[in-house]
Structure 1
């Protein structure tokens, strides 16, 4: 099966998303001109205009006749739900340079539900990793990851927990092949909002619950990722048989 690659216009649109984030543009700010972007991206005017049209269709920018194009809302991280990627890779792919703060990491005894999810034998401990991603001091993504302690064969205080968890597991010979996922729209409790320093305890968040497996079907990781609803969306393609 031939893999379809994004068109040039879509690639330029994604680079514009990243540029908006990198430059810290806010609604009402003017975007670089077509000529500036042609030089920056080394592409033709037609590709730039097609990318602008995609952003206009998303409601992200607005063209003002004779005065360029202006940002109307902040870009969101829109990802295909069928694509399996770690949080670190997802943010980097859209130009977000998020600060990754470890709120807590501990080896602990799993409860019955956690033991069943990860198919753990009696006496097997788990690592509970709690992290927060911020962008420009705003809470962007709050995550709790659970995995068998035996997967990481070194003292926990010697591990850098701020990087990609997928990559860390791969380094120890445990490659994630697929995940079973569930998405819920939730609001943070007051305690959760205080935990991450957010003032949006009543705001909408997307909770992505995933059990990640290796190619043999063994569950390696259970994750709970809270994505801020104003910055994330997920899409999928539905077909009729």
Structure 2
């Protein structure tokens, strides 16, 4: 295998704004995220990695230490270094970010394994929520979001049909990004309710869990820069693959 172009003297090295150990760490992390190196796999030795990336052993050692701290690698003394088993994606609910960004912040590759779209007449509650848009129809979108190919949640999103994508191929990015790029609708805040639901037969099939498995559900109305509702979501999270944290302060 030819060495990657990361060497100290290589003209093709990654941008110099990143220290070389971080460049190497990024290259190793990419192999983990792409599943070239699976959880539990032993990665090459320091000498082999140094040759692979055309860098010194000290650079490799620092990169491996960084990835160990970040939870990607586990060092076993006297044995070697191994890819860590995937941990549940976690984060606080204080900040409103897209599911795509949430997944990618944890070093996983965000993806979508299932999409279904259908236009329909809005319910009375949806007419009230979206009354600013003078609705005739809404678009209901079902998606399964994945992290490194593993299903982590089932999303049901409803929006005014006028803002909906024309085909599933336009949903290769987060809905937040789509609404902003296509329509200039920037999601600023959301009103959120948290409860527990059970996996329906369809959800269970696509999430690869048993039917009636408890799922953590976030029901959210998302508002644009003019404080108008633009999106209604029900996100159903597999609890051992996605975890939430909330910072609470005593009054």
Shared fold per TM-score greater than 0.5: yes
The one of 84, 89, 94 equivalent to 1:82 is 94
- Structure 2 vs 1, CA of residues 190 and 113 (structure 1 numbering), >3 Å: closer, same or farther? same
- What is the distance in 1 between the residues matched to 2:25 and 2:249? 26
Query: Structure 1 residue 219: deviation in Å?
Result: 0.8
What SS does structure 1 have at the residue aligned with 2:128? Answer: helix
1:118 touches 1:222 (CA, 8 Å); kept in 2?
A: no
Shift of 1:19: 4.9
1:229 aligned partner: 239
When the two structures are superposed, what TM-score results if normalisation uses the length of structure 2?
0.68
Is 1:212–2:222 an aligned residue pair?
A: yes
Q: Is the 8 A contact 2:33 2:108 kept in 1?
A: yes
Contact (CA 8 Å) 2:191, 2:222: kept in 1 or not?
yes
- Work out the CA distance in 2 between the residues paired with 1:111 and 1:64: 57
The aligned residue for residue 128 of structure 2 is 116
How far apart, CA to CA, are the structure 1 residues paired with 2:62 and 2:148?
33
Q: Could you say if the C-alpha distance between residues 136 and 159 of structure 1 is closer, same or farther in structure 2, counting changes exceeding 3 Å?
A: closer
Match of 1:169 in 2: 179
- What count of residue pairs does the alignment treat as equivalent? 224
Displacement of 1:27: 4.8
Q: 2:248 aligns with which of 234, 238, 241?
A: 238
Q: Distance in 2 between matches of 1:61 and 1:208?
A: 32
Task: Find the structure with the greater CA-based Rg.
Answer: 2
Instruction: Give unmatched runs, 5+ long, in structure 2.
Output: 1-23
Gaps of 5+ in 1: 1-11
Aligned-residue offset at 1:69 = 3.7
Q: Which moved more, 1:76-85 or 1:18-27?
A: 18-27
- The residue aligned with 2:114 is 101
**Coordinate RMSD, CA, aligned:** 3.9
Secondary structure at the counterpart of residue 171 of structure 2: coil
Distance in 1 separating the partners of 2:79 and 2:63: 20
Q: Distance in 2 between matches of 1:23 and 1:98?
A: 14
Q: Pairwise mapping of residues 1-241 of structure 1 onto structure 2 (< 5 A)?
A: 19-23=31-35, 25-31=37-43, 36=49, 45=61, 48-49=64-65, 52-53=68-69, 55=71, 62-71=74-83, 73-93=85-105, 94-103=107-116, 105-119=117-131, 123-134=135-146, 138-151=150-163, 156-157=166-167, 160-170=170-180, 171-194=182-205, 196=206, 198-241=208-251
C-alpha change, 1:109 and 1:50, in structure 2 (3 Å) is same
SS across alignment from 2:141: strand
Q: CA deviation at 1:205?
A: 3.0
Q: Find the aligned partners of 2:87 and 2:27 in 1 and give their Cα distance.
A: 12
State the Cα deviation string for residues 218-240 of structure 1 (Å, max 9, x = none). Answer: 11101112222232122232223
Alpha-carbon contact 1:126-1:149 (below 8 Å) kept: yes
RCO (CA 8 Å, sep 6+): is it higher in 1 or 2?
1
Q: 2:133 and 2:99 mapped to 1: Cα distance?
A: 28
